Amino acid sequence: MNRLWVLPDVASAARAVLARLVDLADEARAQRGRFALAVSGGQTPEPLFRALASRGTGEDAWSGWHIFWSDERAVPPTDPRSNFGEAGRLWLGPAAVPDGQVHPIRTDGPGIDAMARTYEAELREFFPGPPGAATFDAVLLGVGPDGHTASLFPGSPTLEAGGRWVVAEPRPAVPPLVPRVSLTLDAIGRARVVLFLVGGTAKREVLARVFADPNRGGPRAALPAARVQALDAVEWYVDRGAAPPGPAGVAPTRR
Ligand code: 6PG
């Protein structure tokens, strides 16, 4: 199921995503005792990370939450381009999320292929279910102006990484032009819910292409972001600047 909500600005879109993540977390912890969330990087999630930090601190506030990444740049966590470093500065550190619940893509390995294999092994250990079983409860993604998502770029062989959960991308198509490690479409597709957070007029044209694609949500869609599937729902939270033409719902925001 695909759902689109258009919010006045990216801050309100981030608040809507926060409300949805908290609901998904409450549901997952009640049913399975934990909430597995993979987050992306870039600028768009910054207001969301700050809003998450304001929820509370320490074990009580984050009981059962396990944080993963959809992708990472092959740089140290202290590098300003690090997705783990970004989430750590804005959310995980200020909110004192317990280290044992934070599962970054390690970038201190001998190369990006080894980094990808190491992360995949960690994921398969954390999600030991049978083939096709659900993994993440939620995956948060963004969209680049070229239609990439995570670090899956148009035309890259990483889009056809059948069976793999994590791949290395040595030649990203957009800055930062550092090698990447990324979840595959297969891995993302095993999430219960995928949430896209997109803002700004710079994304309007690419979102119009994604939403106009008759093959959206399947392997024949033109752009990586359009190929994303999920077990239960793919939900789009976009601001008016990025909104594609056509009908949209009103996001459920309680906070
Ligand atoms: C990354 C992200 C990437 C991002 C898009 C949008 O590591 O760069 O995971 O997929 O979501 O590039 O980035 P902005 O939010 O900065 O526009």
Q: What are phi and psi of 130, to 5 degrees?
A: -65, 165
The strands making up 35-39's β-sheet, listed across from edge to edge, are: 2-7, 233-239, 193-198, 138-141, 35-39, 65-69
Q: Mean pLDDT, the chain, as a whole number?
A: 95
CA of 33 relative to ligand 1 center, distance in Å: 30
Residue 249 pLDDT grade (very low, low, confident, very high; cuts 50, 70, 90):
low
| Contact status, residue 6 vs residue 239, Cβ threshold 8 Å | yes
In this predicted structure, the answer to whether residue 251 has a pLDDT above a threshold of 60 is: no
Please give the pLDDT value at position 161. Answer: 87
CA of 31 relative to ligand 1 center, distance in Å: 31
In this predicted structure, the answer to whether residue 19 has a pLDDT above a threshold of 80 is: yes
Give the nearest ligand 1 atom to 142 CA: 11
In this predicted structure, the answer to whether residue 128 has a pLDDT above a threshold of 70 is: yes
Which tens digits make up the pLDDT trace of 177-206?
999 999 999 999 999 999 999 999 999 999
Ligand 1, atom 7, lies closest to the CA of: 41
**Model pTM?**
0.96
CB atoms within 10 A of CB 51: 20
Residue 162 pLDDT grade (very low, low, confident, very high; cuts 50, 70, 90):
confident
The residue to mutate among 17, 40, 72, 182, having the most atoms of ligand 1 within 8 angstroms of its beta carbon, is: 40
CA of 136 relative to ligand 1 center, distance in Å: 19
Ligand 1, atom 10, lies closest to the CA of: 150
Which tens digits make up the pLDDT trace of 42-60?
999 999 999 999 999 999 9
Give the nearest ligand 1 atom to 202 CA: 17
Nearest to 219 by CA among 192, 190, 185: 185
- In angstroms, the CA 75 to CA 79 distance is 6
